[in-house]
Structure 1
Amino acid sequence: MSDRTTGDRTTPEPSPRPARTSAAARRRVREQQILAATRSLFDSTGVGDVQIEDIAREVGINRAIIYRHFSGKDELFALTVEGYLAELQARLEAAARSDVPARERLAAVVAAFVDYGLEFPAFVDCAQALMRLQGSELEEQLSEAALFRLGRGLSACLRSVITTLDDGAASGDFDVEDSTLLANYMYASALGALQLARIGMLVGEAQPGVPTVSRITGDDVRRFMTSSALALAGAR
């Protein structure tokens, strides 16, 4: 270790910590490799068919190594959702960046959400799986850091909706009492509607006791969710 002389004092040079820095960097790289492999498998085979062993095989590691980076399968899947949310955030922000009236901006934001869900059905599955868990279960199964990252990703996506609703309320185009609650409701209901698009069927009755089945498409869901969002916002 060399010394640095300043005036009459000799100040030791700070000791580098290459080993610790290198280990942290390798850990981050490995985590990203695991998340990328999980995402790839989700998109190619579906969420329900992916096991920890499949992810480990995709990365070329032992499954035990995955548990050194993530507390369990639920945390790994939750942080994979974070990646989807980052992409979705970019699309929603692009849809909300406009000088058009809030009514048209809200329609564009909802359409962008629906289009993303149609393009990446694994995102819908992951998001719905998380929503089925109670808050206490999330706290038990996910680390504090993972919860923070997941919450940050979701709130960033909702920001575009909330801001658009608030702008519309301020301009008199919308009648909204709680934009945060409404944005969260829109998020949850859109996930459900996207499942209808995947199934592609609506169940009704031709007459009491006689069921009928009709078709529904992604375009149908987009139009329905857009009109529903405007109605919920009290669009004038």
Structure 2
Amino acid sequence: MSLDYIISVVKPMLQGAQMTVLLFFIAIIVSIPLGFLLTLAAKSSFKPLAWLAQTYIYVVRGTPLLLQLLIICFGLPMLPVVGPYLVFDRFVAACIGFIINYAAYFAEIFRGGLLGIDKGQYEAAQVLGLNKWQTMTRIILPQMFRIALPAVANESVTLIKDTALLYAVAVPELLHYAQAAVNRDFTIMPFFLAALIYLIMTVIMSLIFQQLEKRLRFE
């Protein structure tokens, strides 16, 4: 296997990896705050809102991401009346699907982070004369994010690998170009090269979160 061949195969795969990275950042930037809002909604004293948020989390986490992507890409346009208004670009549809899915998982992670905070923290805040907003922003949220960070890191690494599902909805990403090279050249080497690229991306993301955890640990 010549170096020239490897370069010729890796070059389009790196172009596809740009789509992978773009999807990752869009999904992370939107789904994390959305997940936190879902956590607050699920804990709301307004029962209809709490029930709606909890149902959303339960349904999304209980169904496969691939199925959700297929519904958004191919199912929604088939709905009567509103279907024509729900036709999205494939990449946009994929972003919507990933955001919807990962927001539910992050919501559960943040819920676990809140449960990990000792109730004495709330009592101490009351003793110090802090109102609810001050208690939440100065005491509860920093601790919650510190507790939830390892799980957020794991979920983020999983998100990188799940971007391979773009292949199933015909978005030309990393795996798409690897499969094209395999079919063209009758060799599985492109699959190994794609695996290496995914591995590099996950290692980089893991190192970033490790540094973030160390920084938060010493603050």
TM-score when normalising by structure 2: 0.31
* Larger of the two Rg values belongs to structure: 1
More RCO (CA 8 Å, sep 6+): 2
TM-score when normalising by structure 1: 0.29
Tell me which protein shows more strand as a share of its residues: 1
Tell me which protein shows more helix as a share of its residues: 2
